[in-house]
Amino acid sequence: MRLLILGTGGMANQHARNFSAIEGVEVVGGVDVVPERLAAFCAEHGIVRQFGSMDEALAWGDFDAVANVTPDRMHHPTTMQAIAAGKHVFCEKPLATDAALAMEMTEAIETSGKIGMVNLTYRNSGAIQKGRQMVLAGDIGAVRHVEATHLQSWLVGKAWGDWKSESKWLWRLSKKHGSNGALGDIGIHIVDFTSYGAGLDIAHVFARLKTFDKSPPDNRIGEYDLDANDSFTMNVDFSNGAIGTIQATRSAAGQLDQLRLRIYGEKGTIEVVYDTGVSTLRACLGPDLDTATYRDVPFEPVETNYQRFAAAVRAGKTQEPSFRRAANIQKVLDLAQVSDREHRDEVVG
């Protein structure tokens, strides 16, 4: 597979390193509107071809697939270009900034017969994969209650850099720059992590979003209005009648990047934790219920999304997480915004 990387910001380095390590995959070109960033990226990863636009890259055309690592608002137009040109697409999350655009992309890729997958990176955790297997196998019985959190701290610490002076963070705080805030950025991860791990779809959502004042007096830095949400909470009903809470924030002091999921069933509980690259899985089952004793559950490493995409292209059959999966999760996120605005419960259709 000959791969083009579209967008050469920070996350693009992960794409370049991971795809280059897969046998049979060659990264043959990079695209970016900022020449200096593009040149530095291509030099670091030994990429020869450089293009200032998707149009230029498609005019050349000597590639099979696109890794779309552009800002959120650019996912839809550039992916639609790639699909129209007959290319496979591996897109960063979220697939689009709203469900209508995401579904348009989904229908286009499915009609084309090409492979379309989305980089929901926490699927790469062996713990969530094993935990899901346990739930689906009935190890904890019927699911009754779920609680999930996604905690980051980059608004209150500098472990990831200084967001007040770096555009790669500031655009994530600005609606006019295409951001749907914490809901759009990490919300798609924790909603997928939760419903995938529990093996259940979300049927209803009641949400609250919060934007904090981060830069008095006008909550603005340069061209960036800091008006995208920073934290959210959701009360949800699942398709089997279970209920749960899902929450996320960028202001969790003391947490770099932690996802925590507890799934409570009639016969037991499992807990999955992903904490800054390290995953753990624990369960409380059988006689341990009486003493509330949790025990570690072993699990094996799993293929990464990058590996699954390459395998899907070779086989000609889409693997998960697919465009359709990401579009369905986007429906939940869109309705969370409606719920917050209208102060009401929303049905996920």
Q: How far is CA 85 from CA 44, 54, 70, 79, 117, in A?
A: 28, 11, 18, 10, 17
**Structural contact between residues 264 and 145, judged by C-beta atoms closer than 8 angstroms:** yes
Q: Could you tell me what percent of the chain has a pLDDT over 90?
A: 94
Q: How confident is the model at residue 261 (pLDDT cuts 50, 70, 90)?
A: very high
* pLDDT of 268 strictly over 90: yes
DSSP state of 62: -
Domain ranges of the chain: 2-121, 126-301
Tell me the two tokens of residue 118: 């989305």
Q: What's the whole-number mean pLDDT along residues 176-186?
A: 92
The verdict on whether omega for the bond into residue 35 sits within 30 degrees of 0, i.e. cis, is: no
* pLDDT of 345 strictly over 90: no
- What pLDDT is recorded for position 129? 97
Tell me the two tokens of residue 308: 């699954």
Q: How confident is the model at residue 10 (pLDDT cuts 50, 70, 90)?
A: confident
- What pLDDT is recorded for position 235? 97
* Strand boundaries in the chain, DSSP class E: 2-6, 26-31, 49-51, 65-68, 88-92, 116-119, 143-152, 202-210, 220-221, 224-225, 231-238, 243-249, 257-265, 268-275, 278-285, 295-296, 346-347
Task: Name the CATH superfamily for 126-301.
Answer: Dihydrodipicolinate Reductase; domain 2 (3.30.360.10)
**19: nearest Cα among 311, 284, 255:** 311
Question: b/e string for 60-85 if b means 16 or more Cβ within 10 A?
Answer: eeebbbbbbbbbbbbbbebbbbbbeb
Q: How confident is the model at residue 349 (pLDDT cuts 50, 70, 90)?
A: confident
**Structural contact between residues 37 and 9, judged by C-beta atoms closer than 8 angstroms:** yes
For 27-76, how does the pLDDT look when each residue is reduced to its tens digit (9 = 90+)? 999 999 999 999 999 999 999 999 999 999 999 999 999 999 998 999 99
- What pLDDT is recorded for position 178? 83
- What pLDDT is recorded for position 167? 82
Fold of 2-121: Rossmann fold (3.40.50)
CB neighbours of 8 closer than 8 A, spacing ≥ 6? 30, 31, 32, 34, 37, 38, 41, 42, 69
CA pair distance 295, 116, nearest whole angstrom:
38
What is the pTM assigned to this prediction?
A: 0.94
CA pair distance 79, 97, nearest whole angstrom:
13
For 118-166, how does the pLDDT look when each residue is reduced to its tens digit (9 = 90+)? 999 999 999 999 999 999 999 999 999 999 999 999 999 999 889 998 8
Quick one: residue 78, left, alpha or beta (phi over 0 = left, psi -120 to 50 = alpha)?
alpha
CA pair distance 296, 294, nearest whole angstrom:
7
